[in-house]
Amino acid sequence: MAKLVMWNLMTLDGFVEGPNRDISWHSDVWGEELEQLSIAQLNTAGGLLFGRVTYELMANHWPSATGEVADFMNAAPKYIFSRTLRKSDWNNTQMFSSDAAATVARLKRDSAKDIFLFGSADLADSLIPHGLIDEFRIALNPVILGGGTPLFKPGEKRRLKLIDSRSLSTGIVILRYVPAAK
């Protein structure tokens, strides 16, 4: 059975995107170290999970990109949750429109390798109450946006246990958490 790993870049003030869906601050920390970390993570992934907004950003970028990360992104199985989209032209993509929790539970059971949830704060929010996220990987970016889309929405308190942390030369800190025992 696969784990579901949430992987997100987040600002110090808790946002995954700024106003008007701005993610330009990602380029402040992108470089060889983060690229190598991304490649290492992708090599363990059996699939990618996106909500509609993140899917549209990815599908508009990766099909025409080149390089090792692009090759993986284009070849990997992709699982998309959307209430409005019904089909995709991006290679190896399955679309789902309802019951994200039950579908993700099935995908985890059916996959031998871990599934990575990128971006998709709303989708993550819908999965957290069901205990479906097995690991939270957060790349904490040393920037304060002052507004935008928060990674975590108001809801029930969840305790997490830190299992690893490391800093990169760009000032980003990679934090890895798992749900703590109750």
Percent of the chain with pLDDT over 90: 66
Q: How sure is the predictor about 31, in pLDDT bands with cuts at 50, 70 and 90?
A: confident
The residue-averaged pLDDT of 19-35 equals 86
pLDDT at 69: 85
Percent of the chain with pLDDT over 70: 99
pLDDT tens-digit readout, 120-147: 899 999 999 999 999 999 999 999 999 9
Q: Which tokens belong to 63? A: 């099909």
pLDDT at 75: 92
Contact 133, 100 (CB under 8 A): no
Q: Using the predicted structure, report yes or no on whether residue 155 has a pLDDT greater than 90.
A: no
Q: How sure is the predictor about 30, in pLDDT bands with cuts at 50, 70 and 90?
A: confident
pLDDT at 87: 87
Superfamily name and number for 4-179: Dihydrofolate Reductase, subunit A (3.40.430.10)
Q: Using the predicted structure, report yes or no on whether residue 7 has a pLDDT greater than 80.
A: yes
List the chain domain ranges.
4-179
pLDDT at 29: 83
pLDDT tens-digit readout, 40-97: 888 888 999 999 988 998 899 899 999 888 898 999 999 999 999 888 889 999 999 8
pLDDT at 39: 84
CA pair distance 160, 108, nearest whole angstrom: 21
Average pLDDT across the chain, whole number: 92
